[in-house]
Amino acid sequence: MTDPGKEYLLSCKRALQSLREGDDLLEKHRAEPAGVLRVECPVTMARDVLAPLLGKFIDANPTLRVSLDVYSSGYDHEPREDVDIYFKIRTPTDSSRRIRRYPGATRGLFAGPGYVSRFGLPSDPAALSAHICIGSSPEQLFYPWKLHRGKKTLTPELNFQVMPTDPAVNCRLALDGVGIAILPIWIATHPDVADGLVPILPLWKPTPIFLCALYSGASRLTPKIKAFLDFVEPYIGTDRDPRLHGNTASRCF
């Protein structure tokens, strides 16, 4: 893009921003949240967290409409300007939006019984280099596994042969005996899969996954944004979390 083109684009963005701020200013004076709430989140969150809760939210806010857009868990980007609330896995180091953080999801290493019978159990994290490991996303090429035991942290040298971006795919591959995968505890202990997974190096814990919500600043915290954030707050990472399926929050988060 040419320099004049960049200046034109920036000017257009400022104009659109002013229009959105005008709309939000009007909405603040409404007695109840209304209009369209645009939410973007990882597909796993949409499926396992928001889908079970959206019915209750709509019942409590009948004048609101929710537009839910999903993206791959491995896709990391800043939200579009028209997105009201953007859920992302890693807290950004720099963002023009306000951030609301939620409890981190505890994770562990798991494999299927078939894989363990063929290749055995690794004795320590260093032994993982001799095993087939399943990465969490293409970024695993640059961000290797970090395993923690108390104050000790090890980063084993691994060569991933497959790197899905959906934890549900990682779980399926582990169940099928393809290799060792890092899985959130809430996935690995689900009644449908718990009997088909073997914990690997249970004393070593991968870094938890920390979820956060990016939304407009305090001057633009409109009723619809506040209504949604306040609604999901008592669920995410608590004993009311839809992902638990009889588990406890203290074990999974």
**Of 187, 47, 44, the residue nearest 108 (C-alpha):** 187
The pLDDT score that the predictor gives to residue 3 is 74
The pLDDT score that the predictor gives to residue 195 is 96
Task: Kindly report the pTM of this predicted structure.
Answer: 0.81
Backbone angles phi, psi at 10, to 5 degrees: -60, -40
The pLDDT score that the predictor gives to residue 31 is 59
Alpha carbon distance 140, 147 (integer Å): 14
* 3 φψ region: left (φ > 0), alpha (ψ -120 to 50), beta (else): alpha
Report the chain (253 residues): mean pLDDT per 10 consecutive residues: 73 66 56 88 95 96 95 72 89 76 96 97 96 76 80 91 89 97 96 97 95 76 91 97 95 95
Tell me whether strands 64-71 and 205-206 are parallel, antiparallel or unpaired. Answer: unpaired
What domains lie within the chain, and their CATH numbers? Answer: 21-104+210-252 (3.40.190.10), 107-206 (3.40.190.10)
The pLDDT score that the predictor gives to residue 36 is 94
Alpha carbon distance 171, 76 (integer Å): 21
Half-sphere exposure at residue 88, Cβ-oriented, CA atoms within 13 angstroms? 19
